[in-house]
Amino acid sequence: MVRAMFGSRPGIRAPVAAGRFYEAEGRRCALQAGELCTTVGGAAVPEALFGALVPHAGWIYSGRTAGIALATLAEHTNARTFVLLGSVHTVDIKEPALDTAEAWATPMGEVAVDAQLRQEMAQLADFSTRDEAHRFEHSLEVQLPLMQTVFGEQLQIVPCLIPPQPEAPDWGRALGEMLRRRPVPTAIIASSDLTHYGPSYGFIPHGAGREGTRWAHETNDRQLLDLIERLDADAALAHALDHHSACGGGAIAATVSACRIMGAQHGYVLQHTDSTQVAAGQIWGETTNSVGYAAVVFG
């Protein structure tokens, strides 16, 4: 049963983006999530997938792209436990940050945290617990109602924020080695948007306007996605840092390297769009600033 309310009882991480990035009322949230979580016809992906990359803007912009990746992953994995690797927006951290919550609340109910897996991850080099890093971070929260929709009541998570540090690929490799040996099927999901282009983001190497946003999509995003498809975690991280092509370069690099260790041979881009394309033809259309979004699965 979908619950319309979410509480703030001890041990539960309460949502902070509901009502801003996605619907705060339970039934409306579930309805919207169900509409967004669809696969794309004709997408050729391996039978077994090990993870995905999803965007994390408001659902009106990137929800369908995230839904495509998650719905596709759901069709190609037996996993119901997921390590969520998020971008870092609110707190300056230098190492992977876990949290201590027993569950994360959404308008659709609570998503349990796999405490055993989190404890195992906490033993990996450089991983630590920092609840304050998660308190106001939206990059993982916005995925949860979508994941509840496609993975159901058995869904369990371990949220972890990964800063864009040089060690991110190594953090991912260590995580991948651990998950590869784990008897319980577990997959990894990275949350990151792509190029933030325009005066609002202080990034206009090709001018403010359509030519610049086109370059961001067709060249800057595409170069990064080529590296992600090749599972080149180190080069993807370097591109994100040097070319401002992703806000979650650390999460991307860690996920790519982990999935490669777990058996993935390639990344598959299911959809690549941006906020100007989504807004095209709408009264709120924006052409000066853009943010890129991609749905990618790894197998």
pLDDT at 40: 87
- Residue 19 dihedral angles phi and psi, to the nearest 5°: 90, -10
* Reported pTM: 0.95
Question: What domains appear along the chain, each with residue ranges and CATH number?
Answer: 12-33+44-298 (3.40.830.10)
Residue 242 burial (CB < 10 Å; 0-12/13-18/19+)?
exposed
Find all residues with CB under 8 Å of 190, minimum gap 6, and list them: 51, 52, 53, 54, 85, 86, 248, 251, 252, 254, 255, 256
- pLDDT tens for 58-80 read 999 999 999 999 999 999 999 99
Give one word for 85, left, alpha or beta, with left for phi > 0 and alpha for psi -120 to 50.
beta
- pLDDT tens for 220-270 read 999 999 999 999 999 999 999 999 999 999 999 999 999 999 999 999 999
